[in-house]
Amino acid sequence: MTIITDRGWQASAVVTLGAVAALTAAFTAEYGFGLLPCTVCFWQRVPYAMTVLLGALSLMPAVGPRERRVVLFHLVGLLAIDAGLAFYHVGVELHWWPGPSYCSGGGRGGVSMGDLMAALGKAGSPSCDQPTYLFGGPISMAGYNLILASLLTAFALKAALKKEWWGRG
C-alpha cells in the first residue's frame, strides 16, 4: 500500500492541514484585516503550531504507521488543550468568568502619571473580554476556534482509535 492511500496517513494529514488552516485564518485576520489578537488569542496559537510541527513530521515517509498513530494520540491532547483554551476564551467573552486581569480591563489599583506616559508609547492590545466577530455573525473568532479545535480533536481521536487503519501497530 502506498503512503498516500494509507488511511492513517490521510487522517494525520487532515489534522495537520486543519491546524494549518486555523493558523492561516488567525494570521489573515491579524495581518490582512488588522484585527489585533489579545493575549488569550496568542495562547490558542501555540497548540496549533505544535500540531503543525508534529503532524508534518509524522507525515514523512520514514515514519511508520505505529509511530504515526502515537503522534496522532499526542495531537489529540494538543487539540484538546486548544479546545479548552478556546472554551475559556469564549467564557471570558460572554462574561461567564473573569479573564486574566492584564487582558480583561481589570485594574491593579491606582495608576500613576508615569504608567500613563509609558502606555502612550505602546501599541494597544485588545481586551480578552471583547469578542471579535467575523462577517457580522453571532459567533466570535474564539467561538469558531472552539468549534474547529473540538472537531479536530474528535476526528483525531476517532482516527487514532481505528486499529485497522494502523496495521500491526
The share of the chain scoring above pLDDT 70, in percent, equals 81
In a domain, 17, yes or no: yes
In a domain, 112, yes or no: no
Query: Containing domain of residue 161, as a range?
Result: 12-100+126-166
Q: What is the SS3 assignment for 40-81? A: HHHHHHHHHHHHHHHHHHHCCCCCCHHHHHHHHHHHHHHHHH
Who's near 34: CB < 8 A, 6+ residues apart? Answer: none
Euclidean distance between CA atoms 89 and 96, whole angstroms: 10
Evaluate if residue 96 carries a pLDDT over 60.
Answer: yes
The confidence score (pLDDT) of residue 108 equals: 47
Read off the pTM.
0.83
In a domain, 110, yes or no: no
HSE value, Cβ hemisphere, 13 Å, CA-based, for 113: 0
Total count of domains within the chain: 1
The confidence score (pLDDT) of residue 127 equals: 84
In a domain, 24, yes or no: yes
Going by pLDDT thresholds of 50, 70 and 90, the confidence category of residue 101 is: confident
In a domain, 113, yes or no: no
Going by pLDDT thresholds of 50, 70 and 90, the confidence category of residue 109 is: very low
In a domain, 32, yes or no: yes
The confidence score (pLDDT) of residue 169 equals: 47
Nearest partner of 55 among 84, 93, 20, 21, judged by Cα: 20
Higher-confidence residue of 132 and 1: namely 132
Higher-confidence residue of 135 and 12: namely 12
Taking every pair of Cα atoms in the chain, the longest distance, rounded to a whole number of angstroms, is: 69
> What does the pLDDT look like over 27-83, one tens digit per residue?
999 999 888 899 899 999 999 999 999 999 999 999 999 999 999 999 999 999 999
Q: The domain spanning residue 92 has which CATH number? A: 1.20.1550
In a domain, 53, yes or no: yes
* Rounded alpha-carbon distances, angstroms, from residue 83 to 59, 121, 142: 23, 35, 10
In a domain, 139, yes or no: yes
